């Protein structure tokens, strides 16, 4: 298969899920292509969304890891309230964990979409109980 990504809005859960197919990041150019395409997709939604990321089909090679961490953080800061991820190969999960630690961001990785969605919903509920309003400013959610 050829490089592809898709983003689906789940209205019932008010969340966008990102899916990747054969998105293999080997070089800085690959990472910049990934960022451009992700931004094109996310710019179609409201300014910031909750995002579930299926890491299956996204492969980050060692040679692209450092650049990927920086670009990923910037994209998520700009387009998401919070993000949770699931799936993925061992190397990609390692880069997500490592860049999260380096950049001081939550990793929020789960085995399945259902587990990731449940964790996202639990965070929303915890914020609701503390009186968080998305229109009141001062959002204190997690990124990555």
Instruction: For the chain, give every domain's residue range.
Output: 4-124
Each as own residue / partner, the long-range contacts of residues 29-32 (CB below 8 Å, 24 or more positions apart, any chain) are 30/64, 31/64, 31/67, 31/68, 31/71, 32/67, 32/71
Proportion of the chain in helix, strand, coil states, percent, rounded to 5: 45, 25, 30
pLDDT score for 105: 60
Asked whether the beta carbons of 30 and 22 are under 8 A apart, the reply is: no
Lowest mean pLDDT among 24-28, 32-36, 78-82, 95-99: 95-99
The pLDDT value recorded for residue 50 is 97
pLDDT band at 65 (very low <50, low <70, confident <90, very high): confident
pLDDT digits (tens, 9 = 90+) for 94-144: 777 776 677 666 678 899 999 999 999 999 999 888 876 554 444 344 444
Q: Is 122 buried (19+), middle (13-18) or exposed (0-12) by CB count in 10 A?
A: exposed
pLDDT score recorded for residue 142: 45
Mean pLDDT for 8-26 is: 97
Q: What is the pTM of this model?
A: 0.84
What's residue 45's pLDDT? 94
Domain 4-124 bears CATH identifier 3.30.428.10? no
pLDDT at position 140, please?
42
């Amino acid at each position: 298969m050829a490089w592809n990504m898709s983003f689906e809005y789940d209205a019932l859960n008010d969340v966008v899920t990102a899916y990747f197919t054969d998105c293999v990041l080997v070089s800085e150019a690959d990472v910049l292509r990934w960022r451009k395409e992700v931004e094109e997709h996310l710019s179609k939604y409201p300014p910031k969304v909750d995002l579930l990321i299926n890491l299956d089909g996204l492969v980050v090679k060692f040679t692209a890891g450092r650049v990927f961490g920086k670009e990923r953080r910037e994209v998520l800061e700009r387009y998401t309230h919070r993000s949770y991820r699931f799936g993925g190969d061992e190397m990609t999960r390692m880069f997500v964990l490592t860049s999260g630690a380096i950049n001081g961001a939550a990793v929020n990785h789960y085995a399945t979409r259902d587990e990731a969605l449940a964790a996202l919903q639990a965070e929303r509920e915890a914020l609701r109980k503390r009186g968080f309003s998305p229109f009141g400013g001062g959002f204190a959610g997690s990124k990555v």
